[in-house]
Amino acid sequence: MNRPVSKAQTKNDLGETVLFKGAALKLDCGTALEDIEIAFRTYGQLNAEKTNAILICHALTMDQHAASENPLSGKPGWWIDLIGAGKIIDTDKYFVICSNVIGGCAGSTGPQSLKPDGSGPYGTDFPVLTIGDMVRAQTLLIDHFGIDSLFCVLGGSMGGMQALEWAATHPERVFSAVPIAASTRHSSQNIAFHEVGRQAIIADPHFLGGRYYETDERPRKGLGVARMAAHITYLSETTLQQKFGRNLQDREAVSYGFDADFQIESYLRHQGMTFVERFDANSYLYITRAMDYFDLAADHGGNLAAAFEGTKTRFCVMSFTSDWLFPTSESVQTVRALNAAGANVSFVEIESDKGHDAFLLDEPEMHATLDGFLKSAAQARGLTASGSAKEAKDD
């Protein structure tokens, strides 16, 4: 017999949270996660028909602060250029939701959370998660708002994985989906990079088997190295050469030592040091593992097209020419599977030298593509310029 679920929505320094007390979220690993808390931000207003909601899914190291200042870092939202009044994701028209994934460290239930029995933080007793589990948790939040069907699910990198998972597992609830710089499965190369990062964290003497919450220390060095290794994969060779080349850092000659002689070394060390102040090492382990396990074809007997069979969702798939972490070839595989499933899909490969992180940067072609797609989908959905609903017209 299911336990009654109570919901308590509160505001705090991280935005808003909903605690689903009594909820038992069944996970792919075979266990259940109890008393789910989801931290989120919203922008704009939900229309009376509840048909104008856009779910923004964040990437690995991002959070719910997509269009608002991050209270921990003081930095502006990571998609502030896209989300807002009069912008491409227009908050005068759409109700925008962005939640921190479960397993994260920005307010949603994760390794830092206290166990329901009150015995302390989960640490590495937290169950291993999948992208599917993250989406199941997000459905709790969407149900909380009383939304039957999302106008769009949108995200880049791991956010794109979530968008694809939403479209595959809840096609009746996703009118349109925009996976950017993403794939339907994590490659062996990407798994390898993640494993290097995880082992750097685990090897840190302050990791303590993931139970470092009980001490005043954190595995900062290990997490910093993990961030440095991952950050290289987010950039392109062209970007690295243009920004840094072999330029020396604050010196006229090499030191013949192991200080940061080169600008690129100093840059990576800075990335590592700032990252450890805003991210949790255990969350890094869990979220990277969830990405590694993502494989939509495997979930459908090895047939990727079967994951989208009969879908009515409209898709816009985008990739970048210099992205070697999620190369265009993987987006093409996604598009071919969608075509085989008879889906409504458009695809754009964007010329860019900015690498994987291009989806977070000022890329006019990406912005124009997204703008055109959302306007077309909104017309088909029957949304007015103010976000209210009207009778949809046939294409």
Phi, psi of 194 (to 5 degrees): -65, -35
What is the torsional sign of CA 336, 168, 52, 17? negative
Query: Are the CB atoms for 60 and 287 separated by under 8 Å?
Result: yes
CB neighbours of residue 375 within 10 Å: 15
CA distance 370 to 94: 14
Q: Is 356 a catalytic residue?
A: yes
What is the torsional sign of CA 283, 284, 286, 291? positive
8-state DSSP, 192? H
Active-site entry in 90, 108, 356, 357: 356
Q: Which helix (H) or strand (E) holds 366?
A: helix 364-381
Closest CA to 56 of 234, 182, 177, 146: 177
Query: Are the CB atoms for 49 and 62 separated by under 8 Å?
Result: no
DSSP string, 83-138: EETTSSEETTT-EEEEEPPTT-SSSSSSTTSBPTTSS-B-GGGSPP--HHHHHHHH
Active-site entry in 99, 157, 319, 322: 157
CA distance 310 to 308: 6
Which residues have a Cβ under 8 Å from the Cβ of 118 and sit 6 or more positions away?
Answer: none
Residue 188, burial from CB neighbour count under 10 angstroms (0-12, 13-18, 19+): exposed
Closest CA to 395 of 383, 381, 385: 381
Active-site entry in 170, 323, 331, 357: 323
Strands 95-99 and 344-350 turn out to be unpaired
CA distance 154 to 26: 24
Is residue 63 classed as helix, strand or coil in its secondary structure? coil
Active site residues: 157, 323, 356
